[in-house]
């Protein structure tokens, strides 16, 4: 159970808590496999996973995970070893995830769209010797190269087509055979079905939920290059319990969750996979985001809940065809700021409630959320989760608490906060101040305890020495009816230091030019905030999770300036 200070003077959010939710409620921590084991015992015959029409029950999932755990031990993997998962959303992911944890291993989530170089860097840093990957050629070929060069010792091959229903499996192999790799049959390749057929008894491992690392989740952190956040069993279990307390009105065993966000991303891993396993909610999996497929899946499989990122909700709201979205009654948005116009459009299209939450990898990841059954404040990320303490610190001095209503760096502590960064003691020390995790985000808290994110500290744009927050500019741009998507960065300027540049995608049926948009923004922004440069595009770069990504645009601007000036130039912050 978690213990916290009892200084009520800095917890205004407690008075705003929805009925039936107690900030001081004890937060249980336990080994993560117990989530699956409890649900299998209570709802064994109920469906757990639906993958393109192929279903798995909770009892089948738990039994398979146990056999996989024994198979991993038979392969020679020992408690504390790291197992890489290079998988899209498919049944293999949760089975290997819980199988690894039952065996006492640490899961290392890898992005299947990473380049071979990026995967290698992560594998080497984490000390991964065995990785699981589907036999899709674009993914397996990268693994095969690492295996050939001795970076990896063995690969657990997950036959992608075999996870589908018989009819779709046959069609996939008939018409899309070229997408599958030819995988050798040798000692270095272990097929998942063989692993799941292991008859050896599982050797019991003792897991200390407070100390033992369940997942190494790689992130850019609050700054710098990717590093592995050490998320313990207790961190992830506690965050799952916090979600249970906060979303108390969900119906155990009666909800159906659409999993279109990839499990390898921490937001989906906790809010979709772990929360659904805890609540016995059927998980409808899609291996990737494709708008038409999402719309059809909602109509056919009738999910009631759908965690997502703003671009997902914007795409659904803007879908121009017929769509039966009536089954969805609740959605949570995370991963990136939710523009208020996107929230309004989505709720108007679906009739469901969309609430904005906030988190980061280092906190497993959920920290705060608007209460689904309480007051939702426009532009707010809501109230701190149960057992989660918040402190806003001075941007010039992280030891100084800011006054009520003043913006400051959002710092957090609670049972979901990581142990630290893997093999990075200096970066770990820099991520904390006095026991508080520094998020790198600028926030403000109102008198009711609701938080609003102003922007990322590293994304601040300095125009004439004054701070310009990209999120405020983006929110204003989204108010124009012709705008579908936008993002804002700072670009160097010899006179102003930096100026604001906006990248905009228009709706298919509407247009606006730069002069018209700039004129519109003058009524919504201060003069230094109005973009001096506006570039219209057909699309904007996104991460695999669907978040708009600024780094590619910053790199483009840097390259342009280097070419024009014959040297390197700094772009953004």
pLDDT per residue as tens digits for the range 343-352: 999 999 999 9
Lowest average pLDDT, out of 56-65, 221-230, 372-381, 493-502, goes to: 221-230
Q: Which DSSP letter does residue 91 get?
A: T
pLDDT per residue as tens digits for the range 240-278: 999 999 999 888 788 999 999 999 999 999 999 999 999
Residue 151: how many other CB atoms lie within 10 Å = 17
Nearest residue to 355 via CA among 370, 341, 365, 339 = 370
pLDDT per residue as tens digits for the range 162-175: 999 888 888 888 77
The angle at the Cα of 353, spanning 351 to 355, to the nearest 5 degrees, equals 150
Residue 121 has pLDDT above 80, yes or no: yes
What is the Cα gyration radius of the chain? 24
Highest mean pLDDT among 83-97, 158-172, 218-232, 546-560: 83-97
Q: What is the pLDDT of residue 465?
A: 65
Lowest average pLDDT, out of 150-159, 368-377, 412-421, goes to: 368-377
Domain with CATH 3.40.50.12780 in the chain: 1-31+207-241+287-459
Does the domain made of 1-31+207-241+287-459 have the CATH classification 3.30.43.10?
A: no
Which band of pLDDT confidence, cut at 50, 70 and 90, is reported for residue 6?
very low
In angstroms, rounded to a whole number, what is the distance separating the alpha carbons of residues 318 and 300?
20
Residue in this structure with the two tokens 């690969």, named with its chain if needed: 155
Domain with CATH 3.30.300.30 in the chain: 461-565
In angstroms, rounded to a whole number, what is the distance separating the alpha carbons of residues 328 and 325?
6
Query: Exposed (0-12), middle (13-18) or buried (19+): which is 116, by Cβ within 10 Å?
Result: middle
- List the structure tokens of 323: 């769509």
Residue in this structure with the two tokens 């939702």, named with its chain if needed: 376
In angstroms, rounded to a whole number, what is the distance separating the alpha carbons of residues 425 and 407?
29
Q: What is the pLDDT of residue 92?
A: 98
What's the CATH class of domain 56-203? Answer: alpha beta
* Mean pLDDT, range 506-527, rounded to an integer: 93
* Mean pLDDT, range 563-570, rounded to an integer: 53
**What DSSP letter does each residue of 185-242 carry, written as one string?**
-STTEEEHHHHTT--SPPPP----TTTSEEEEEEE-TTSSS-EEEEEEHHHHHHHHHH
At 223 the three-state DSSP class reads: coil
pLDDT per residue as tens digits for the range 318-333: 998 999 999 999 999 9
**In the beta sheet, which residues pair with residue 412?**
390, 437
In angstroms, rounded to a whole number, what is the distance separating the alpha carbons of residues 470 and 453?
11
Query: Exposed (0-12), middle (13-18) or buried (19+): which is 224, by Cβ within 10 Å?
Result: middle
At 468 the three-state DSSP class reads: strand
State what percent of residues in the chain have pLDDT above 70. 95
Q: CATH classification of 461-565, choosing from 3.30.300.30, 3.40.50.11540, 3.40.50.300, 3.20.20.70? A: 3.30.300.30
Domain with CATH 3.40.50.980 in the chain: 56-203
CB-based contacts of 344, cutoff 8 Å, min separation 6: none
Which band of pLDDT confidence, cut at 50, 70 and 90, is reported for residue 566?
low
Which band of pLDDT confidence, cut at 50, 70 and 90, is reported for residue 221?
low
* Mean pLDDT, range 101-126, rounded to an integer: 94
pLDDT per residue as tens digits for the range 525-547: 888 899 999 999 999 998 867 88
**What DSSP letter does each residue of 392-414 carry, written as one string?**
EE-SS-TTSBPPTT--EEEEEES
Contact predicate 110/156, CB 8 Å: no
Residue 222 has pLDDT above 60, yes or no: no
């Amino acid at each position: 159970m978690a213990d916290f200070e009892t200084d009520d003077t800095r917890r205004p959010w407690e008075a705003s808590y929805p009925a039936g939710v107690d900030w001081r409620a004890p937060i249980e921590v336990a080994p993560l496999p117990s989530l699956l084991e409890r649900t299998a015992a209570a709802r064994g015959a109920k469906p757990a996973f639906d993958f393109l029409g192929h279903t798995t029950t909770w009892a089948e999932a738990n039994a398979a995970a146990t056999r996989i755990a024994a198979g991993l031990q038979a392969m020679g993997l020992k408690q504390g070893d790291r197992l890489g998962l290079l998988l899209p959303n498919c049944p293999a992911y949760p089975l290997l995830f819980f199988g690894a944890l039952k065996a006492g291993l640490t899961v290392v989530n890898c992005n299947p769209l990473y380049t071979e170089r990026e995967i290698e860097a992560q594998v080497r840093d984490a000390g991964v010797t065995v990785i699981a990957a589907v036999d899709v050629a674009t993914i397996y070929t990268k693994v095969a190269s690492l295996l050939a060069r001795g970076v990896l010792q063995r690969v657990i091959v997950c036959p992608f087509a075999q996870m589908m229903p018989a009819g779709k499996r046959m069609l996939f192999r008939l018409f899309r055979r070229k997408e599958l790799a030819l995988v050798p049959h040798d000692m270095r390749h272990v097929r998942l079905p063989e692993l799941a057929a292991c008859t050896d008894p599982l050797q019991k491992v003792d897991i200390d939920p407070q100390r033992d690392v369940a997942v190494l989740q790689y992130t850019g952190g609050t700054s710098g290059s990717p590093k592995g956040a050490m998320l313990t069993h207790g961190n992830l279990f506690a965050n799952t319990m916090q979600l249970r307390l906060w979303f108390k009105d969900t119906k155990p065993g009666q909800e159906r969750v659409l999993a279109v966000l990839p499990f390898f991303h921490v937001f989906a891993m906790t809010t979709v996979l772990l929360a659904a396993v805890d609540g016995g909610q059927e998980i409808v999996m899609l291996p990737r985001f494709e708008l038409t497929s999402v719309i059809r899946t909602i109509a056919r499989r009738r999910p009631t809940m759908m965690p997502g990122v703003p671009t997902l909700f914007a795409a659904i709201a803007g879908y121009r065809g017929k769509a039966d979205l009536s089954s969805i009654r609740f959605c949570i948005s995370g991963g990136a700021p939710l523009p208020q116009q996107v929230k309004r459009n989505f709720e108007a299209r679906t009739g469901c409630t969309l609430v904005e939450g906030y988190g980061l990898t280092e906190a497993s990841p959920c920290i705060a959320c608007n209460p689904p059954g309480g007051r939702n404040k426009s532009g707010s990320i809501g109230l701190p989760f149960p057992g989660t303490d918040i402190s806003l610190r001075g941007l010039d001095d992280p030891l100084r608490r800011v006054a009520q209503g003043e913006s400051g760096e959002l710092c957090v502590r609670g049972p979901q906060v990581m142990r630290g960064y893997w093999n990075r003691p200096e970066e770990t020390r820099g991520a904390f101040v006095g026991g508080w995790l520094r998020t790198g985000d600028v926030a403000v808290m109102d008198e009711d305890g609701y938080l609003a994110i102003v922007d990322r500290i590293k994304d601040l744009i300095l125009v004439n020495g004054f701070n310009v927050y990209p999120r405020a500019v983006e929110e204003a741009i989204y108010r124009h009816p012709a705008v579908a998507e936008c993002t804002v960065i700072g670009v160097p300027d010899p006179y102003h230091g930096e100026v604001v540049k906006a990248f905009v995608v228009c709706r298919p049926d509407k247009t606006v030019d730069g002069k018209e948009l700039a004129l519109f923004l003058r009524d919504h922004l201060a003069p230094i905030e109005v973009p001096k440069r506006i570039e219209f595009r057909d699309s904007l770069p996104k991460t695999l999770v669907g978040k708009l990504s600024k780094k590619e645009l910053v790199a483009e601007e840097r390259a342009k300036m280097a070419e024009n000036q014959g040297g390197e130039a700094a772009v953004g912050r």
